[in-house]
Amino acid sequence: GKVKKYILDKLADEKRLHFSLLDPYKIKTENELNYIAKNLYEAGTDAFLIGGTLGVSKERLDFVLSSLEEYEIPKIIFPSNINLISEIADALLFLSLLNSDDIYYIIGAHIVAAPIIKMLQLEAIPTGYVIIGYGGTAAHVGRARVIPYDNFELALAYTLAAEYLGMSFVYLEAGSGAPEPVRPEMISFIKKITNIPLIVGGGIKGVDIARRLTEAGADIIVTGNIIENDLERAIKIIRGIKNNW
């Protein structure tokens, strides 16, 4: 687990990390990708996550992964389904959508993917994926029974279950483009009781909310849309996280 070790060592050193989510469906040209990637890397993002729920083919995934080769941070696949597996990546978040009503998203895709992952010798990082509030396309496709924004007890129960199942991380997801991200109060509530590192994403568009989430205990902040919509703001968020605001 080279990438998992990189993340855990970096968390031990720096406390808070930032991952940049790049959606191969939304980034159209190589020039655009190079410009975005260079800026994110120079601002200090800690890893690239590559994935999306709709419209991502293996070809697009490979195009993005190979274009990112020169950057010395991990390129981690953020898969929505079994088509998003590639040997060019450094690792893959092996996501189990814990609050899905469909067994396929909890363990079904995983048994199809596992032998391929083994064959490619790709690092799989066991991650509990929990969808909260808005949910968006990921919740719709993944048939998630979303956790209300204010049901902290329920989110805690999923997080604890993931920890007891031996997962490495829990990803608390409000859905890409969520009008409201996961609430900082939910993060601090969970953080008081659990030890598992928390990845938090979905609808994080501003420096202030990113700061409040990290101060509440989010270990890793993921931003996606804001990178494509307002790169300057994304850079401010990264610099804030890296320089402790």
By the criterion CB under 6 A, which residues form the site for ligand 1GP? 21, 173, 176-178, 201-204, 222-226
- Whether the CB-CB separation of 154 and 147 falls below 8 Å is answered with yes
Minimum Å gap between C-beta 157 and ligand 1GP is: 21
Between 37 and 226, whose beta carbon lies closer to ligand 1GP? 226
Between 54 and 107, whose beta carbon lies closer to ligand 1GP? 54
Minimum Å gap between C-beta 234 and ligand 1GP is: 9
CA distance from start to end of the chain: 30
* 172-205 burial: b if 16+ Cβ within 10 Å, else e: bbbbbebeebbbbebbbbbbeebebbbbbbbbbb
From the list 232, 208, 210, 206, the residue with the least C-alpha distance to 221 is 210
Between 117 and 221, whose beta carbon lies closer to ligand 1GP? 221
Residue whose CB is nearest to ligand 1GP in the complex, by number: 201
Minimum Å gap between C-beta 230 and ligand 1GP is: 11
Minimum Å gap between C-beta 26 and ligand 1GP is: 9
Beta-carbon neighbour count of residue 225 at 10 Å?
18
Biggest CA pair distance of the chain: 45
Stretch (H or E) spanning 138 = helix 136-141
Between 24 and 202, whose beta carbon lies closer to ligand 1GP? 202
Minimum Å gap between C-beta 40 and ligand 1GP is: 13
Between 26 and 120, whose beta carbon lies closer to ligand 1GP? 26
Nearest-angstrom CA–CA distance, 108 and 44: 36
Between 9 and 32, whose beta carbon lies closer to ligand 1GP? 32
Minimum Å gap between C-beta 232 and ligand 1GP is: 15
